[in-house]
Structure 1
Amino acid sequence: MTEHPQTFDHFVALADRYFETAAWEEASRALDAADAATRIISKEQLIALDTRRGHIERRKGNYQQAVRLLVQALAANTEGQNLTHVDITCELGNIYMKIDFIKARDLLLEALQGAEQLSKQADLHDDLDLSISAKVQACRAVGKLGMTKYHIATTAPVRRHPLLEEAIDDLERRVQLAESLQHQLERYGDRGNHAFRANVMRILGLGRLALCYTALHQHEQALQYVRAAAESASRSTDPLVQGLIRFYHGMRSLRSRFDRHDEVGYTALDYAVLADDPKCTAIVTRSLRDEMDSRFPDEEAEADRQVAIKLAEAHRRKQYRDIFQLAFRPILAKTSSSFDSDARLYDLRVQYTIELKTDLRKRELFDKFRSIPYSAFKSLGRLPKPSNVDDMAGLREHLRAEVHRTEEQLPAWPYIVFFSYEWRRRRVGRLNEPDDNDHTQYNRMVDAVELLLENQDKTTRTRKLTRDRVFIWLDVASIDQNNQVPGAQGSGVSALPLVVTLCNTVISLVDDSYFSRAWCAVEALLMQSLVSYGHHAHLEHHAPQLGTDKQQARGTLIPSRRLKQLQDVATNDTKYAVTKLEDRASIRFLARQAQLLEKL
C-alpha cells in the first residue's frame, strides 16, 4: 500500500503520471480513488475528474461517453474563456474528428482562437505560467486542426490539394510552436510537465506532416519528416507515440500477433470491441483468421471456431469491464464506516441485478447471482456431482426455493461465502466430480462455516452473524461443468470476478498443492485485491493434522495474506497448473485484471 496521503490531489497527480505511459485503466482507477477521497466534491474537482475521464474514454474509442463527460465539465466551468474551457473544447474537437469533420474544425478553431487570446493576456500581464499553458493548448489545437483538414481533403477529392496545403501549414506551425515551447521550458524550467507534452506534440506533428506529403505524392519530403519523427520517438517513453511513428515509417508491413495480451490482459480484439468499432473489429478478426489458418492449415472449421471463441471472449470482457469498473468500483471506493460492509455488499448485489435487467447483452453473457442457505447446503450431505441427474435436480430445487422466498422471509443482510477449492477427483481423471468418496471437501466446507460462526469477531466484517444469515455460492450451480467444448464455460468463468465481488467472504480450502493450481490461485488473488476496500474477507481453511480422530477433527480458519506471493499468476505458467490448456488465456486475463481491483 502507498504511504502517500490519500488525498484528491495525490490521486489526480497519480492519474496524470499514468497518462504519460498510456496506462488508461490504471489512470481510471486513480480517478475513482480521487473521487472516493472527497466526501463533498467541489466544482473544480468535478471538472478535473470529468475532463480526465473524457480523455480516457476518447482514447478507448468510447466517443459518446467521452462527449457526455466533457460537455458536463464544460457546463460546470462558468469562468468563461479560461484554460479549462480551451482544453475541453480542443478535446471535443479531437473526438469529433472521428464523427463529424466540419464540427471538429469549428471546435478546434474556437480552441485555437481561445488559446491565442490567453497567450496575449499572458504577455500583457507578464504571466509566464499562463503563457506556457496557452502555448501548449495552441500547439495542440493547431495540430488537430491540420489533421482535420487532412481528413477532409483525403475524403473530398475536389478540395484535396488546397486543403492539404492548409493542413501542412497548420502542422508546420505546430512543430514550430512545440520547438519554441521546448526552448522556453529549457530557459525557465519545466512547469506542470509541459516538456513531455511539447516533445510528444513535436514528434506527432512531424509524423503527420509525412502523411500530408505522402497524400501529395511528395515521397522524398515525406521520408525526411518521418525520419526526423522516428529519431525523436526513439527517445520517447510514450508507447502510443512510438507505435504511431513506426506505423508512419512503414512498420505496418511487418506481420503482427493479434492474439497477444497487454499488461492488463487485453488483446487488440478486446480494444476493438471495447470501442464498439465494427470496422476495427472486422480488421482484427480477419487478421486473427489468417493466424488461425496458419495454425490449422487443413482444418477450416477449427480455424472458424477458434476465431468465434476469441470474439465471444472479447464481448464478455467488455461487459465485465463495464460492470466492474463503471458500476462496482465506484461503490467499493466510497468512504464508509468500519461497520458498513453489509450495506456495501447489498448495494453491489442490487447494482448487479440492475445491470442484468437493463442490458440484454449482459443478461445473455452472465447468469443471475445465485446462492443457497447454509442449512440447505448441510442437508445435501455432500457436494453435488454435475453428472448426477438427481444431485443437480435437488440443487436446482434449493435454488428455486430461494427465488420464491418473500422479502420478509429473507434475512436482512445475507452473508454469502464463496469456496475456492480443488476438485479432488480430477487427480484421477474424474473431471466432473468435485469431491472424493470420503466427502473431504464438503466436510471441510461445513467445518469452515462453523469456525466462521464461532470466531466471527476475528474472521468477518459484519454485525452479529447468525446461522440463518449464512449462504453458500456453489460453482457447480453457476458454471456449466458438463459442457467440455472450449469456451462453453466462458460465461461463468468471465463472471468469476463479479461473483467474488458479490460474496462477503472467500474461504480457500488450502492443502499442499492449492496455490500451485491456477484457478485456485487466481480466485485467491482476486479476493486478496478486493480485501483492500475493507468490505470483504479472505480466509484460509487448513485441514486437521494427519492422525487426528476424523469424528472429532477440526481444522483452522485464518486470514489470508498472500497478495505479493500471487502476483506472478499471469506470467508463471510452470508454477500454476491447469487441467485444460484452453483455460490459460482466461487465467491470464483475470490475473492481470486483479491489479485493477486493488484499492490505491
Structure 2
Amino acid sequence: MISNSDPEPRTNNDNNKNNHRPENTETNEATTTITSQWQTFMDTGRIHTARRELERARHVFTAALHLCDRHPDVLTPRRYRYRVLGDLGWVERLGGRYEIALGVLREASQGRPNLFIAGEIGTVYRQLGRLGEAREAFAAQLGLATVLGLDGPLCRARCNLGIVEYQLARRRWNAAEAEVDCMVAVAMDHLEKGIQIAEKIQAEEAMRRGHGPTTREREARGWRALAYGQMTLCYCLWADVKTPDEEEMLEKAADAGRNAVASARAMLSSALPMARFCYGHVLLRQGHRELALHQFNDAAWPWPEWTVSPVMVMCKEPSDEHREYLAEMIEAGADVNGVDFDGYTALDHAVFSGDAECEAMVLGGLRKQLDLFDIDLAARRTEAHLRKGYREMLQEKLRPILYRRNEDPDCMKKLRRVYAETLAADPDKSRFFDRLRFIRYTDFKQFGRLPRSSDGLVRSYEDGDDLDVLVFFSYRWLNQDKSLNTPDDANHAQYRRMLNAAELYLQQNTPVDETKLCIWMDFACIDQDNPGTGVSALPIIITQCDAVISLVDDTYYNRAWCCVEAMMIAQLRRAVQSQSNLHAWYEHRAVATDSETNQSGKDDSEGWTLQEAPKWAKLSLDMKGKKLTYEHDRPKVMFLERQSRLLGPLGRLSWEDDTLKE
C-alpha cells in the first residue's frame, strides 16, 4: 500500500528535550500510550491487508476506529480517525463491498487531501464500471502527486490510469481499429512510465536498505508486477485488433506476463494471483491450456497458509471484467474448490461480495468438476451464506458493542437487543440463526429434570425483557439412547450439577438475585425437532451470555461439542481485554481429594467446586480427534470451530500463539 501522506504521530520524546519531567507527566504518558496503541493497530492492519487477510485487517482497523472514538481529544479526527477510515475503505474495496467502501472513503476524504484515498475512490469507481469518474479521480491523483513530487503515489497514479485506459479501450473494442489502437497506446504509455518509476524506487531503496527489502520497495515491486500484468492484457487486446500482427503481440504479452509473475513472486506481493491470471490468459490464447492451468491453479505463494488463487481474486473483487475472466478460467478447467489461508473457498468469496453471477458461475464449476448433485451444491451454498451471516452479525453488528463493554454497563442488553432487531429486520439471517431463548432459573429449579425444548419452559427474548444475567451451560450428554429423549442419566446427574453450579455462581456473584438469573442449555433452548438454526447460532448466543459454566469431568475436553463451546468462550474472553465480569468462564468440578490440588474455588456439601477456567492456551482444544457420538456431526462441529475464530482478538486464528506474528 502507498503510505498516507499524513505525518506519523509524535510521542512525548519528540518534544521533551530537557532532562526534567514536565508537570503533566501522567497526561503525557497516557497520550503516548494511546497513540502507540493506535499505531500498533494501524501497522498490524496494513500487514494483514497487504497479505489480503481481510477479516483480520477489518477487525484491527475497527479496533483502531473505536480507540479514536474513545479518545477524540488525543486522537483528533483529522489526523487519526480519517486515516483509519481510509484503510478501512481499502479493506472493504478488496472484499468486493464497493458501495460500503465508497461511503467509508468519502467520509475519510473529509480530512486533508490524501493521495491514497483519492486512488482508492478511483479504484472503486473502476470496479463499479464508472470508468469516466475513475479516470477523473486518477488524473487528479496524478496531478497532485506530480506537484508534490512523490514517486510512490506518482507510480500508483500512472498504473491506475493505465488500467482504466485499457478498460475504456476494451469497452470500445467494436469501434474502429485506429480508435482502439490509440486508446491502448495511451494505456501502455502510462504503464511503461509506472514501471520506470517503480524500478527507480527499487534501485534507490536497494542502495539504502539493510538486510531486507523496505516497505517502499515492496510496494514498488507490487505496482511493477501489476503494470506488467496489465500490459499483458493490452498486448492481447492489440492482438485482437491487429490481426496480421497477432502472433507478435501474443509473444510480447507472454514476455510481459512472465515479468509480472517474476516481479510479484520476488517480493511475495499480493499482486501475484492477478499476475498469474494475466500470464495464464495469454498462454490460453496461445493454445497452451495445461501451462495456463498451472498459472490458474498453482499455490501462488511459497507458503500454503497464504494460498489464494486467481479464481478467488475474481470472486473477491467482482466486476464485469472480472466475471469474464472468471468464466474463462472455469471453462478452461481452473480449480474452483481450493481453500485459502482462512479456510474460505471461491464460493465463500462470491457470497461475501454479494455477487450472484460469480456465485452461479462457481456453483456451475463445482457441479462440473466434482460431479456434485443439487443437494450437495445446496449444502455448500447454505454453508457459504452462513459464513457471511456470521461475519456480518459478529463483526458489523455485535463487535462494535463488545469494544465498549468495559465502559458500558448496558453492553449485554444492547447485544441482545441488536441481535433481536437484526433477525426481525433481515429475513435471510432469521432463516439461518435462531432467536435468543432462555429459561428462568426459578422455573428450571422447580422442574426436577433437564427440560426439553417442547416442555414449555423456554422463552424467546424480546426487547424489554427482564433478562439481567444469562448463564450458558456447557456439558456432556450422558445418555446416548435417543429413545429416552434426554441427555441426562437415570439419576439426573447433569441436572443436579447445574443446580449446584448455579447456586455456587449466586454465592460468588452476590449482586445477582436468583429471580433475575436465567440459563441457556441446548436441550431446552435449541428446538430438538428442528435443531439447525439453533446449532448455527451457538457462537452468537454465547456472545450474549454473561457467563459460561462448563460441567467438567474426566472426558469433557475429549468431547468435540464441549471443546467447540470452550473455544467460543475462550476466544471471546480474549477478544477485548475486559476488566469487568462479563463473559466469565467457570469450570464446575468435583472437589479434589488431595488438598494440594484443591487450592481455589468454593465447595459445598455435595462435593463440587466452581472456579474460573484456566487460560485457554493451557488446554488442548485442537478439534482433530475429539470424540463424537454421531460422526455425521463432525462437519458441523468443524464449521462452528472455524466460525468461533471470528470472536477472537485482533484476528488471531492460532490456538497455540498468544502474540501477533508479523
**TM-score bracket, shorter-length normalisation:** 0.7 to 0.9
| Structure 1 residue 288: Cα displacement | 2.1
Please say if residues 36 and 333 of structure 1, whose CA atoms lie closer than 8 Å, have aligned partners that are also in contact.
yes
1:379 equivalent in structure 2: 446
Cα distance in 1 between the residues matched to 2:48 and 2:629:
37
SS of the equivalent of 2:127 reads coil
Counterpart amino acid of 2:216? H
For 1:327 and 1:198, locate their aligned partners in 2 and report how far apart those are by CA, in whole Å: 37
* Residue 100 of structure 2 corresponds to residue 65 of structure 1: yes
Distance 1:180 1:490, change over 3 A: farther
Q: Is the alpha carbon distance of 1:259 and 1:543 closer, same or farther for their aligned partners in structure 2, counting shifts above 3 Å?
A: farther
**Deviation (angstroms), 1:385:** 4.3
2:220 to 198, 218, 230: 198
d(CA) in 2 for partners of 1:165 and 1:19?
A: 33
Question: Residue 289 of structure 1: which of 359, 364, 367 is its match?
Answer: 367
Which segments of 5 or more consecutive residues in structure 1 lack a partner in the other structure?
A: 120-133, 297-302, 387-391, 458-463, 484-488
Deviation of 1:593 (Å): 3.9
Structure 2 residue aligned with 1:300: none
Q: Distance in 1 between matches of 2:370 and 2:214?
A: 47
Distance 2:369 2:351 in 1: 19
Residue 455 (1) aligns with residue 503 (2): no
1:329-367 Cα deviation digits (max 9, x unpaired): 121112735xx5x52111211221222233232233222
Q: Which of 185-194 and 527-536 deviates more? A: 185-194
Q: Which residue of 2 aligns with 1:213?
A: 235
2:532 is equivalent to residue 512 of structure 1: no
8 Å Cα contact 2:472-2:520 kept in structure 1: yes
CA distance in 2, matches of 1:292, 1:437: 47
Q: 2:583 aligns with which of 536, 543, 556?
A: 536
Partner letter of residue 477 of structure 2? W
Partner of 1:245: 275
Q: Does 1:185 align with 2:205?
A: yes
How far apart, in 1, do the equivalents of 2:563 and 2:262 lie? 44
Q: Would you say 1:597 and 2:639 are equivalent positions?
A: no
Overall identity of the aligned pairs, in %: 33
| Distance change (3 Å), C-alpha of 1:151 and 1:586 | farther
Instruction: Please show how residues 388-427 of structure 1 align to structure 2 within 5 Å.
Output: 392-395=454-457, 398-399=458-459, 411=466, 414-426=468-480
Query: Deviations along 1:438-483, whole A, 9 cap, x unmatched?
Result: 21211111111011111227xxxxxx11111210113234434334
Tell me which residue corresponds to 1:465: 512
Task: Give the alignment of 1:71-470 within 5 angstroms.
Answer: 71-74=106-109, 76-77=110-111, 79=112, 82=113, 84=114, 86-99=115-128, 100-119=130-149, 134-157=150-173, 158=175, 159-189=179-209, 193-217=215-239, 218-238=249-269, 240-250=270-280, 251-252=292-293, 254=297, 258-293=336-371, 303-334=373-404, 336-337=406-407, 340=408, 342-385=409-452, 392-395=454-457, 398-399=458-459, 411=466, 414-426=468-480, 433-456=486-509, 464-470=511-517
| 1:267 maps to amino acid | T
Q: Is the 8 A contact 1:145 1:167 kept in 2?
A: yes
The CA deviation at 1:163 is: 1.7
Checking the alignment, whether the CA contact within 8 Å between 2:591 and 2:608 is kept in structure 1 is yes
| 1:573 has 2:624 as partner | yes
1:261–1:229 Cα change, 3 Å: closer
Whole-angstrom CA distance in 2 between matches of 1:268 and 1:433 = 41
The offset of 1:566, in angstroms, is 5.5
Return the alpha-carbon distance in structure 2 between the equivalents of residues 147 and 164 of structure 1: 10
| SS at structure 2 position matched to 1:216 | helix
RMSD (CA atoms):
2.7
Which amino acid in 1 is paired with 2:609? T
What corresponds to 1:15 in structure 2? 45
- What letter corresponds to residue 365 of structure 2 in structure 1? S
Q: State the partner residue of 1:461.
A: none
Q: CA deviation at 1:557?
A: 1.2
Maintained 8 Å contact 1:265/1:588: no
Deviations 1:191-231 (A, max 9, x none): 98211111111111112211211222211101111112222
Query: Which digits, 9 at most, give the CA deviation of each residue in 1:10-48, with x for residues without a partner?
Result: 211211222232211111111122233342331221111
Residue 236 (structure 1) shift: 2.6
Change (3 A) 1:67 1:432: farther
Inter-partner Cα distance in structure 2 for 1:593 and 1:320: 7
Assess, with a 3 A threshold, how the Cα gap between structure 1 residues 434 and 161 changes in structure 2: closer, same or farther: farther
Task: Compute the displacement of 1:142 (Å).
Answer: 1.6
Distance in structure 1 (CA, Å) of the matches to 2:184 and 2:621? 50
Question: CA-to-partner distance for each residue in 1:31-66, whole Å, 9 max, x for gaps?
Answer: 122233342331221111110110000011000100
| SS of match in other structure, 1:425 | coil
Amino acid at match of 2:350: A
8 Å Cα contact 1:265/1:590 also seen in 2: no
C-alpha displacement of 1:160: 3.0
**1:497-524, Cα deviation, whole Å (9 max, x unpaired):** 1100000011111122211222211111
C-alpha separation in 1, matches of 2:538 and 2:198 = 48
Greater RCO structure (CA 8 Å; 6+ sep): 1
Residue 444 of structure 1 contacts residue 509 of structure 1 at CA under 8 Å; is this kept in 2? Answer: yes
Mapped contact 1:317–1:494 kept (Cα < 8 A):
no
Please tell me whether the aligned partners of residues 525 and 566 of structure 1 are also in contact (alpha carbons under 8 angstroms). Answer: no
Q: Distance in 1 between matches of 2:392 and 2:276?
A: 32
Equivalent residues, number = 533
Q: Tell me the TM-score normalised to structure 2 length.
A: 0.75
Tell me if the contact between 2:394 and 2:646 (Cα under 8 Å) persists in the aligned partners. Answer: no
Q: State the AA in 1 paired with 2:48.
A: Y
Unaligned runs of 5+ in 2: 1-32, 240-248, 281-291, 298-332, 594-603, 651-662
3-state DSSP of counterpart to 2:503: helix
Q: TM-score, normalised by structure 1?
A: 0.83
Structure 1 residue 490: Cα displacement: 4.0
Q: Is the 2:474–2:521 contact (alpha carbons within 8 Å) kept by the matching residues of 1?
A: no
Judged with a 3 Å threshold, the aligned counterparts in structure 2 of structure 1 residues 307 and 88 are, in CA distance, closer, same or farther, namely: same
**SS of the residue aligned with 1:249?**
helix
For residues 297-344 of structure 1, give each alpha carbon's deviation from its aligned partner in whole angstroms, at most 9, with x where no partner exists. xxxxxx11111111112112212211110121121112735xx5x521
8 Å contact 1:264–1:593 — kept in the other structure? no
Distance 1:14 1:261 in 2: 24
Amino acid at match of 1:67: L
Q: Secondary structure at the match of 1:95?
A: helix
Structure-1 separation of matches of 2:432 and 2:420: 13
Q: Match of 2:528?
A: 481
